[in-house]
Amino acid sequence: MFAYYLDLALRSLKRNKMLTALMVIAIAVGIGASMTTLTVMYLLSGDPLPGKSGHIYYPQLDPETGADVRKVPPDLLDYISAHDLWQSGRADRQAMVMDGNIKVQPGGGQSPFMTTVVGTTSDFFPMFNVPFRYGGPWTAADEARGVRQVVISDVLNQRLFGGANSVGRSIVLNGASVQVVGVLDHWRPRPRFYLLAGARNSGGNTSYFYGRAHDVFLPLPTGLAINAGNFGWYTCWAKPDPMNLPTAPCESVALWVQLDTPARAAAYRGYLTAYDAQQRELGRLTHPANTRMFSLSEWMAFQNVVPGDVKLQTWFAFGFLLVCLFNMVGLLLAKFLRRSGEIGVRRALGASRAAIFEQCLIEAGIIGLLGGVFGFLLTVLGLWLVRQQPVEYADIVTLNVPMFLLTFALAIAASLVAGAFPALRASRVAPALQLKTL
């Protein structure tokens, strides 16, 4: 029976090509728009550390001493608090993270250039599953000695060494010679979750946080020694001396901890509160206690890191899909009721209402399938357009298998929903009335 209905549906669709084309175009355009934005949403709001993000936490406290008291703790820690918490070693893994720009002097007649740098501690790499192509991270012991070692990204390695194994070779950063100990494999976390400070205050303009990962990773003490004053994002509550960040009254460091069990996480929360209380007792901290420890996904949600424009586009795209659906319901209704005579005959010859309903739905489903095919092509076109946009995440916008399947699922589901009401109306056609007018 299904094959027969399929045949009937195809015949019916062929009979009025214009109306069929209108419906297919409507559903295809709606699907194309919503799948384009949905794919971008999916890519930008995914879990950057699958399987691990639940164990990664972001401790915070309020280190400020000025008259203005914040409602929520500042996005970063001051160096002293971060260093104290880090040094305590109470988490399974912990890393301090700062970022900025650094000058790379390739030598050999090439002109120097600026690139992005992270100053961090050795746990950063295993904690965030950072893949290495050559070598590996520096050791904790070397780090403490302020060793002149560096880990570089695959992109920088390509630029400086043509992609060769550069472990053991030296590069000049901001006038200081440092030795490469590790080269990262392709690493494109989205967003750059390890430094999200300030995202929530950027008015939704967060595409910056979806840029490439940093190029240079320095042990934090080394970074402070050779790149002082160039470590970026910080807020100061009193007049700072930027050259001496560790003692400056500024928030500049992100601290990440890995806590493998809920019990460990609870214990760390207790430790954070106790540390905060102790520091207030010592008089170093003066504001009311305001500690907090988000998990990675909570932190990303709090920072509102998915760009506002992307969310706005998604709203519009789905509103648009809704318009397309109303359009299709109207057209299907017209199409089915126009065949009232034919339906009357079928009913008179013994077809049940369910059979008519089924037949109409199959026709709607075929329109959905056709709409899905064209909608898929439009999605590919839409994603190509997104890639042409001047946004940092342009290069990661590609269609993947789940989204490919979802395109067709959405198209067929949408057309079945749109077809249900007209099909119901068609199945209610009174056979006697129709036969009389024939």
Partner 1 sequence: MQILPILAALRRHRMAAFLIGMEIALACAILCNALFLVSNRVDMMRVDSGVDQDRLVVVWLDGIDDAHAADLAARLRAGFAGIAGVESVAVGNAVPFTQRAGEMGFRVVADDPHYTEQGHFYVGGPKFAATLGLRLAKGRWFSPDEYGPVGDFLPESPSVMLDAAYAEKLWPGQDPLGKMVYTSSNSFRVIGTYASLVRPDPSPYSQHNTLLVAGNPGKHLAGVYVLRTTPEQTDRVLRDARALVARVAPTVVVEKDFSGSMLALRHAFFAGDRAMAGLLVGVIAALLLVTALGIIGLASFWVQQRRRQIGVRRALGATRGDILRYFQTENFLIVSGGIAVGMVLAFALNLVLMQHYELPRLPLYYLPLGATTLWLLGQLSVLGPARRAAAVPPVVATRSV
Q: Which residues form the interface with partner 1 (CB under 8 A)?
A: 18-19, 22-23, 25-26, 29-30, 33, 66-68, 101, 103, 105, 111-114, 174-175, 203-205, 207, 229, 236, 238-243, 308-309, 311-313, 315-317, 319-320, 322-324, 326-327, 329-331, 333-335, 338, 385, 389-391, 425
- Shortest reach from residue 240's CB to partner 1, in Å: 8
- Shortest reach from residue 24's CB to partner 1, in Å: 10
SS3 130: coil
CB nearer to partner 1: give 1 or 438: 438
Q: Please, which residues have CB within 8 angstroms of residue 236's CB and are 6 or more apart in sequence?
A: 248, 249, 250, 251
Do 64 and 57 contact (CB within 8 A), yes or no? no
Integer angstrom CA distances of residue 385 from 37, 321, 402: 11, 19, 20
Do 232 and 99 contact (CB within 8 A), yes or no? yes
- Shortest reach from residue 346's CB to partner 1, in Å: 20
Give the strand pairing for 93-105 and 149-152: unpaired
- Shortest reach from residue 424's CB to partner 1, in Å: 11
Indicate if the alpha-carbon torsion angle 177, 182, 187, 192 is positive or negative.
Answer: negative
Do 432 and 67 contact (CB within 8 A), yes or no? no
- Shortest reach from residue 220's CB to partner 1, in Å: 21
CB nearer to partner 1: give 192 or 335: 335
CB nearer to partner 1: give 29 or 76: 29
- Shortest reach from residue 152's CB to partner 1, in Å: 17
CB nearer to partner 1: give 12 or 121: 12
- Shortest reach from residue 338's CB to partner 1, in Å: 6
- Shortest reach from residue 390's CB to partner 1, in Å: 4
CB nearer to partner 1: give 6 or 41: 41
Query: DSSP states of 361-424 as a string?
Result: HHHHHHHHHHHHHHHHHHHHHHHHHHHHSS-TTGGG----HHHHHHHHHHHHHHHHHHHHHHHH
CB nearer to partner 1: give 40 or 296: 40
CB nearer to partner 1: give 280 or 387: 387
Do 83 and 252 contact (CB within 8 A), yes or no? no
Measured CA to CA, the distance from residue 338 to residue 344 in angstroms comes to: 11
Do 30 and 376 contact (CB within 8 A), yes or no? no
CB nearer to partner 1: give 140 or 323: 323
Measured CA to CA, the distance from residue 260 to residue 257 in angstroms comes to: 10
